Structure 1
Amino acid sequence: MTSSLRSWFIGRMVSVLAIGLLAGWLVDQIFLGLFITTLSYLVWNHHQLHRLLRWLDEAAHKELDPPESKGIWGEIFDGIYRIQRRHSRSKQRLANVIERIQESTAALNDGIIMADQNGCLEWWNRAAGELLGLQMPDDQGQPLTNLVRNPKFASYMENSRGKEPIKIDSPAHENRQLQIAITVYGQGNRLLLVRDVSRLHQLEIMRTDFVANVSHELRTPLTVISGYLETMSDGMEMNPDTPPMFKRALSQMQEQASRMQRLIEDLLLLSRLEATEPERISQTVKLKPLLLGIINDAKALSGENQHQLQLECAEDASVTGDAMELRSAFSNLVYNAIRYTPSGGKVHVKWWQDPEGGHLMIQDNGVGIDPVHIPRLTERFYRVDKSRSHATGGTGLGLAIVKHVLLRHEGRISISSHPGKGSRFICHFPLSRINSTKVIQAKEPDI
């Protein structure tokens, strides 16, 4: 209440009392005059209060202007009317904004869905209804997982914070692939972005099939070429009159043929990893024998370079997965460490477990990598130094294979490196893939 209104109210009360005193003095009954005047004033206020309550009850069902009055009640009703008009204008502005948002989202080709903290549908645009087969108003308020019956989607709805978007088949259209991304906001509310990626999915399948088919078709001619090169090489070794230039040329052809064969094998493996869905493999893979075999092969690869290889792994360490895929991933990392570490360098292979899961580290003290390249290292054919990769015989697919193998085992890879200080690659596996109950707290060594 403002000071001017408070003064007016006090003046009003003083006036009422003055009228009561005057009326009582005229009839020689001062207290009776005060009582009748005060009672009349209370009855009038009660009547005005009754009008206010009746208006509030009616205004709850339809929009009505407040009643008119005089005095303090006139000020109250006028204030309510001003608030009502201001609220009406704000409501109209908000309705216009919502209408524009709905019109703009309706024009999008991507679907937008709003769900509450329980995953129940609140609102969606036209594209979302078309892509997921949602019907208005029947599906409003329904749990989204009841309408999109896909275990992958249900798991994503339960735990989507920080996760990459998922791809699922459209429940409303055959042969259509959808990408769904969830953003959590407010008190656990969810905003879903649904995108039709059928075209990209088909292009990816075509690319994968093309690479796989070409690689497969190249195997036979390369095998024939390698066989004849080997025969010719044996013949030249037996003939002392063979010019050295021919021997050098034949040696280079054999080297390049071997490199092409390795490239084709890696392409076929990568295509298989990308084209097939990972299965819940129940095979228990003992890590100590697997890593020992890789270490022995790495020593043979090192040869005269005499690299120092160290292995730390518990005897009972094991994971659930595919032994061949895991061997391919781990051997790629160990062989890379050998190739890019100078003679006499150290390669440290270590397995440990902690409350977050299991971890396999491959660390070397080799030439290292500039951190600017690390985000792209797992891309196929990405090379930090093309001349260095050619010199070591790399195909540029090793780390891409590692990434896909780990994804198929619900894992991930982390990389840290500095030029001249070596590199460290760590394969992380979730607890669900670890079979050993023994947990070892281990600190990652610094590079």
Structure 2
Amino acid sequence: MTRPWSRELWRLAWLAAAGSLVGWLFSAPAPGLAAGLAACLLYHLRKLHALHRWLTRHPQSEPPTAGGLWGELFDRLYRYQKGQRHTQSRLRTALRRIQESSEAMRDSVVMLDQHGDLEWWNSAAERMLGLQAAHDRGQHITNLVRDPRFVAYFNARDYREPLTLPSPIDERMILQCQITLYGDDERLLMARDITRLHRLEEMRRDFVANVSHELRTPLTVLAGYLETYADHAEALPSRLARGLGQMQAQTTRMQNLVNDLLLLSRLEIDQSGGDHAPLDVGALLDSVRRDAEALSGGRQRITLEVDATQRLIGSEQEIRSAASNLAFNAVRYAGEGRHIVLRWRPHPEGACLEVEDDGEGIDPAHLPRLTERFYRVDKGRSTATGGTGLGLAIVKHVLLRHDARLEIASQPGQGARFRGVFPSGRLVADG
């Protein structure tokens, strides 16, 4: 573009010189120079007018004919427009394919702008969420999905875990919603119908609860007879008396397993939280410490540290169960002569309940699965200690019901630390 620009400069100089020469012939060089510059300005104004008409009236047609700098400019603008049209065409094609593929999905897909207003959704969203193209475009998502849990989930901006809730148009339909942030703080909401899975899970919970409940009576009868036989063991044949101890131990283990299964079922089903009240966690942990010392029988040193003064709003029975499971696990698995510490202390997010030991530790490969039901790091050792394999699953569910999370840190030979972190909203000042 250097040569056309140089030619324009020479054209300007030539018109100025010609105007000055003509003016000099008439003894008026200044008006002649002005006339030359005015002719140059008029030429450029005409080309600028042609450019304006082309861009505003016929931008997709061939550009006006021109030479020099204006011809180069017209050509460059025309090539740029062609490139932009080609890019837009490809983007429209890609967008159309994305929309077509989204329409083929069984899951709902909803695009939200940075304010949370509806921009686009597929037909599955209309069936599951009741969105209507004629009325809802531009509406805020919480105006249409008004479940308080969804509103809190949307505003919290913590979308690491999905949210399960009923469909706003059919309570019998259960949806699993997941929000993803993208672009300029925009959101993509995806919802899938998990009604069948939800019903299967309910059937599983009901089955476990019913079977566990039905097992309690025969186990109680069996334990009663075994206790009676044990009281009169000297009257039994020696080969029968030898098995009484094992039978009683296994019956007790089965009773503990049934009790844990029933507790887990209740934690999963009952979401009311009607027994929540401010708890003195220090006093509760002191009671748990005494129980742990009784279980330990002097094999470990168990201490209590209470640094937080706040009370925890929660269920005393559930928090005691969680703390007891953590403490009893430490007694069972830390090893003889170890030091176990129960703590209630402040945390940046609120407060935390910790159970820490300096025992054998756990391989980090096992940590992600420790809260699974019946998962055992060492099956032989776990069976020998009398555990049910449900303790950490109970702890996880108790913490979830109290808006808390479980953190586990351990290395082989360096002990283990189990921490339940409670948010500040669950705490009240003591007194």
Instruction: Answer yes or no: is the 8 Å Cα contact 1:298–1:335 preserved in 2.
Output: yes
Q: 1:190 aligns with which of 174, 187, 191?
A: 187
Instruction: Answer yes or no: is the 8 Å Cα contact 2:354–2:418 preserved in 1.
Output: yes
Residue 126 (structure 2) aligns with: 129
Residue 210 (structure 2) aligns with: 213
More displaced, 335-344 or 24-33? Answer: 24-33
Q: Do structure 1's residue 423 and structure 2's residue 412 form an aligned pair? A: no
Residue 258 (structure 1) aligns with: 252
Compute the displacement of 1:12 (Å): 2.8
Correspondences of 1:22-421 after superposition (within 5 Å): 34-58=33-57, 66-161=63-158, 163-237=160-234, 239=235, 242-279=236-273, 282-303=276-297, 305-313=298-306, 316-421=309-414
What amino acid is aligned across from residue 7 of structure 2 in structure 1? W
Residue 10 (structure 1) aligns with: 9
Deviations 1:4-49 (A, max 9, x none): 2222223333443465467668889776665544433322322222
Compute the displacement of 1:108 (Å): 1.3
Distance 1:110 1:264 in 2: 39
Deviations 1:136-166 (A, max 9, x none): 1421111100010011111111123353111
Instruction: Answer yes or no: is the 8 Å Cα contact 1:178–1:197 preserved in 2.
Output: yes
Query: Secondary structure of 1:118's match?
Result: coil
Query: Secondary structure of 1:320's match?
Result: strand
Distance 2:310 2:17 in 1: 98
1:18–1:162: structure 2 CA closer, same or farther, 3 Å change rule? same
Instruction: Answer yes or no: is the 8 Å Cα contact 1:348–1:364 preserved in 2.
Output: yes
1:3–1:55: structure 2 CA closer, same or farther, 3 Å change rule? closer
Compute the displacement of 1:182 (Å): 1.4
Instruction: Answer yes or no: is the 8 Å Cα contact 1:9–1:72 preserved in 2.
Output: yes
Query: Secondary structure of 2:86's match?
Result: helix
Give the number of equivalent residue pairs. 431
Compute the displacement of 1:79 (Å): 2.4
Query: Secondary structure of 2:200's match?
Result: helix
Deviations 1:283-305 (A, max 9, x none): 111112211221221122122x4
Distance 1:81 1:343 in 2: 85
Distance 1:9 1:48 in 2: 13
1:80–1:230: structure 2 CA closer, same or farther, 3 Å change rule? same
Compute the displacement of 1:409 (Å): 0.3
Deviations 1:154-183 (A, max 9, x none): 111112335311111111223111111112
Instruction: Answer yes or no: is the 8 Å Cα contact 1:105–1:112 preserved in 2.
Output: yes
1:163–1:35: structure 2 CA closer, same or farther, 3 Å change rule? closer
Instruction: Answer yes or no: is the 8 Å Cα contact 1:161–1:184 preserved in 2.
Output: no
1:246–1:70: structure 2 CA closer, same or farther, 3 Å change rule? same
Instruction: Answer yes or no: is the 8 Å Cα contact 1:278–1:408 preserved in 2.
Output: no
1:71–1:422: structure 2 CA closer, same or farther, 3 Å change rule? closer
Distance 2:30 2:428 in 1: 95
1:341–1:18: structure 2 CA closer, same or farther, 3 Å change rule? closer
Instruction: Answer yes or no: is the 8 Å Cα contact 1:281–1:320 preserved in 2.
Output: no
Distance 1:341 1:245 in 2: 36
Percent identity of equivalent pairs: 48
What amino acid is aligned across from residue 2 of structure 2 in structure 1? S
Compute the displacement of 1:309 (Å): 1.3
TM-score (norm 1): 0.89
Distance 2:194 2:286 in 1: 44
CA RMSD of aligned residues (A): 2.5
